[in-house]
Amino acid sequence: MERVTKENDPQKRDDGSSFSSLSEDLIIEILLKLPTKSIPKLVVVSKLLSSIIRSKHFIDLYLKQQSLTRPCFLLSFHRDSVRFFHSIPLQSLEAASPSSSYTGTTSSFPLSLNTRLYPLSYNVSPPVRGLICFQDLDKVVVSNLGTGQFLVLPKLNTRRRRITRFLGYDPVKDEYKVLCMTVLKLSGPVVSEEHQVFTLGGGAQKKEKEEATWRIIECKVPHCPATNGICMTKNGVIYYGAWSTRDRATRGSLIVCFDVRSEDFTLVKLPNGVEIDGGDTDQSELVNYQGKIALLNNSWVQNIYYGRFDMWVLEDIGVKPEWSKISIVVPSWKDLVGKRILDCRGAILSSGEFIFSPVYSDSPFSIISYDREKDFGRKVVIEGLGDNLCSVSLFLDHVECPILL
């Protein structure tokens, strides 16, 4: 490929590309039709293309016209000392009959970091607007699976290895932020400490990566994180379940709200009698239920024998938050599941179907979906993932985003 000398005036420069003679609107239309993984390769073609691809306008258009109309399941698992990711189009599962199988061979991404990765060191967080965040030993990594990019963040300002991290997005400033905290018990209650935030620029990449660093922030509401985090990108808030103390006899459960823009913490009380579990037979997690925050109680006892899952939905997050309870009972549960232990992963935004996947990996990997309105459950087998899967996570409504890291 011939190298072209670039002039200072972009209007007079010939980039040696067919894009140079096209209008910006037409270029955007062409880019919108490309797969996400192809877009990063074009930023080196010309300054014009780079400017368009990095712009918030183009990224928002791509999400609206392409990704949001084709949401996916994101399946993450560990096999043969490598972490893999598979994105599975929702349309493929929706079109499948209860006895059909889907071969999960699309979008396979092995991690290739310098340090050998172990299955329990990832702790993959739910995707936020195309990005995920996970932990590799003492390193925090942000990845855009759509473009195949991985960004290892600078080392945290801590000597502790027990790190909790959440990924969020501020739609006003168009910024992603990673919130990290450590937990240390000296005596008495366990609370989070060393709260730190790392800011990643949005489409415009306002801050150079080499200038970005972790910043210490203040948290005035003592708590200990107890669940995964869910970021609502419309209001730019990360929600996660927490305990006020660690002692099971005295601790209280609550929902922590972290405003990504202001970096303030606030608390929401749970309904009377509702506690966040994390024992051997019960596990609570937050999910996105039709655009609302919901707390799921994945009780293994109810799970194994009855196929029942209780969920509390936060209906109003204003001055006086209100909760409503939904009990999900899947018909023919034993016929669909047998004696396996499955967790409810939430509900698909487009259809409202509840999705269940195994707590312990098995082969072949299967997903149970339940349509509450039609009172109909089905089992879909995902083939082609191989055997000996470990540390399997399933996330709903994942979308690909062309943002560059």
Q: Is the peptide bond before 110 cis (omega within 30 degrees of 0)?
A: no
Q: What pLDDT, in 10s, does the model give residues 228-238? A: 899 999 899 99
pTM of this structure: 0.84
Domains contained in the chain, CATH given:
63-398 (2.120.10.80)
Burial degree of 80 (CB within 10 A; 0-12, 13-18, 19+): exposed
Q: What pLDDT, in 10s, does the model give residues 270-304? A: 888 888 876 555 677 888 888 899 998 776 666 66
How far is 399 from 129, CA to CA, in rounded Å? 6
Backbone phi, then psi, for 47, in 5-degree steps?
Answer: -65, -35
Quote the pLDDT of residue 47: 87
Quote the pLDDT of residue 203: 53
- CA 95 and chain centroid, separation: 25
Place of tokens 């996660």: 240
How far is 400 from 91, CA to CA, in rounded Å? 15
CA distances from 368 to 342, 346, 358 (A): 9, 12, 9
Quote the pLDDT of residue 16: 44
Q: Which parts of the chain sit beneath pLDDT 50?
A: 1-16, 99-121, 204, 206-210
Place of tokens 């009377």: 272
Structure tokens at 273: 């009698």
Q: For the chain, what percent of residues have pLDDT higher than 70?
A: 76
Quote the pLDDT of residue 7: 40
Quote the pLDDT of residue 95: 56
Pairing status of strand 175-184 against strand 253-259: unpaired
How far is 118 from 391, CA to CA, in rounded Å? 10
Quote the pLDDT of residue 214: 93
Quote the pLDDT of residue 294: 92
Quote the pLDDT of residue 340: 76
Number of Cβ atoms within 10 Å of the Cβ of 371: 15
The helix (run of H) or strand (run of E) holding residue 94 is helix 90-95
